[in-house]
Each structure stands twice: as structure tokens, then as C-alpha cells.
Structure 1
């Protein structure tokens, strides 16, 4: 028996930005992947500060980190957001920039960052902006319990009952 597929809903422009904002801000944390000079991928968890109206994802970082150095060498990055409690997954490809603009640091500073920095005036603080280019998303239309029940029913009966999800491409 074939596997049921979720309905496709590809999004572009402002609709894609709204979906990125909705899903990424709900997940809050992602694997942030950069490339080293030798071409190796490096991933680390990062906490999202905001997705702005232009589709830029903002993160606090440290100017002396490998991540910041790798972005200065290669601005292409990939972000993997997972909100397992809601069965929402988002993959974003984008171009990153590193800044030490005081206004951006002030805007995105939160007390959680004190774990890594000596206050918001720490000279090591940087802000990374990732301009989303495109990506892919998957989300359930119903709550986790309903989606899980549908998947379990399909597994037990062998039916093609889909899990109530929707997925599609994101083109900013």
C-alpha cells in the first residue's frame, strides 16, 4: 500500500514570510548550520530572537565565535526548526550577515543572553541576521493528539489516512 501524502501548499513572498515567522517563532530554537573554509558543515543550537517583516531571522551571537567567522567567509546558512510538541518543522536557506550595531543589540538583547555575556555592553556581542531565501515546512492542521491518532489508525489498519498535515515550499 502507498503512503498517504500531506496536502501541498507552496507559499511565496509575504505569505512565505508569515509562515516562517509563525513556525520559527513558535519553535524558538533551531540548528544553525554554517560552512567552514574547508567546506564542512557545522551545526549548533541557536535561540531565535525574532523574524521581522522582511523575512530576516535575528540571533544574538559572539563576534569571536566560529559561527561568526564562518559567516564572514561564507554567508550561506541553513536553519532547521523543530517544534515537536506541535509536529511543526521548518527548513530555511538564507544569507547571513554579522553586525555589532548597538541599536540591533539593544533591540534583541534579553536576560537569557547573560548566560554567555557580561551584560548587553559586552564588546563580544554580535547580531546575526539571516535573510530567508527559501525553504520547506511541514505542520499539522490539528493538534498533536489528533494527528497521532490518525497516524496510529493508518498504521494499524493499513489505510492511507493522512495525518492532517500540510507541507510546502517557501519562496521569499
Structure 2
């Protein structure tokens, strides 16, 4: 894999591409303790500043942990497409009505009692450090390239990985 660090707008675009394509992240909170707290969360959006948004219940463990220590780790993984990303940052909980309206969708009714649910909150993650691995061609092409490399002994371009600096 070649190394390709991305900066500023390119980094924001890559975070958006991978977070929205993969969708579900393992959100890790309570980072200063062992064990940490990890829960799957669906990405609602990556905004123009590269911040990642989620909806959450105000009474959840991760909201409780974030209210006392806002460091957060997100782990995105889509093995079927050989796309991966980790994001370390700081999270902030919002109950602002315009934010909740922007990110709330009909599918969220499975978790909340509508947009007026008093337990509805949004979590904004501001990335501080991120890293990605992306084959660019998907799993099948990557496996074929690995096989070709094994047969020929020649190193194959299996994609790229690098740091994402906003």
C-alpha cells in the first residue's frame, strides 16, 4: 500500500467519503478507563468542516461519559470494500432544535419517539487525528492483485493509506 497523507479540504473530503460510505462506526468513549465503552453508531453526516454527526439518547452511557470527558475514538470498517478509518477527536452533545431537525430522519423512529423526544441529542465529533486505509478498487480486485503478486513476485499496488489532517 502506498502512503498518501491528505490535508485540509482533501482530508475533509476523504473523511466524508469513508464515513458516509461505511456508515456505521464503533464509537469508543470513556477512553481514560479500562474497559472503555464501545457502541455501534450510524453516521448522520459529515459537515463542511469535517465534523461527524450522530444522534443519541441523552440517558445513554456514552452521553454520560462524554459529558465528563469528551475524548472519543471512532472506528469505521467495511471489509467487503476493504475500506477502514479511525478518527480520534472531541465530542460535544447538542440539544439545539435546528440541529436535531437537520439530522433526524424517519428511520430514527426506531430509537426515539419522534423529533420531540426529550431524550434526543446530537453528538458532534471534531476530528483531531485520523487515519485511513482504502484499496480504491474493492475486495475482489485487491485479492486478485495479491494473488498476482504471489505468482509473479512483483509488488502490487493494493491501494493507499495515510493520515488525514484537517
TM-score (norm 1): 0.90
In the alignment, structure 2 segments of 5+ residues that lack a partner are none
Where in structure 1 do 4 or more consecutive aligned residues deviate above 3 Å? 36-40
TM-score (norm 2): 0.93
Counterpart in the other structure of 1:91:
86
Alpha-carbon shift at residue 40 of structure 1 (Å): 3.3
Alpha-carbon shift at residue 147 of structure 1 (Å): 1.0
Alpha-carbon shift at residue 76 of structure 1 (Å): 0.6
Q: String of CA shifts for 1:28-79, please: whole Å, max 9, x gaps.
A: 1010000167453111100000000101100000011110010111111000
Counterpart in the other structure of 1:19:
14
Verify: 1:168 aligned to 2:165, yes or no: no
What root-mean-square deviation, in Å, do the aligned CA atoms of Structure 1 and Structure 2 show?
A: 1.6
Instruction: Decide whether the 8 Å contact of 1:37 with 1:73 is kept in 2.
Output: no
In the alignment, structure 1 segments of 5+ residues that lack a partner are 1-5
Cα distance in 1 between the residues matched to 2:158 and 2:62: 37
Q: String of CA shifts for 1:83-102, please: whole Å, max 9, x gaps.
A: 22211101001110011111
Instruction: Decide whether the 8 Å contact of 1:36 with 1:70 is kept in 2.
Output: no
Counterpart in the other structure of 2:5:
10
**Pairs aligned (count):** 166
Instruction: Decide whether the 8 Å contact of 2:2 with 2:157 is kept in 1.
Output: no
Instruction: Decide whether the 8 Å contact of 1:59 with 1:128 is kept in 2.
Output: yes
Instruction: Please show how residues 7-156 of structure 1 align to structure 2 within 5 Å.
Output: 7-35=2-30, 38-155=33-150
Structure 1 residues 93 and 74: alpha-carbon distance in aligned structure 2, compared to 1, 3 A threshold: same
Structure 1 range deviating more: 141-150 or 47-56:
141-150
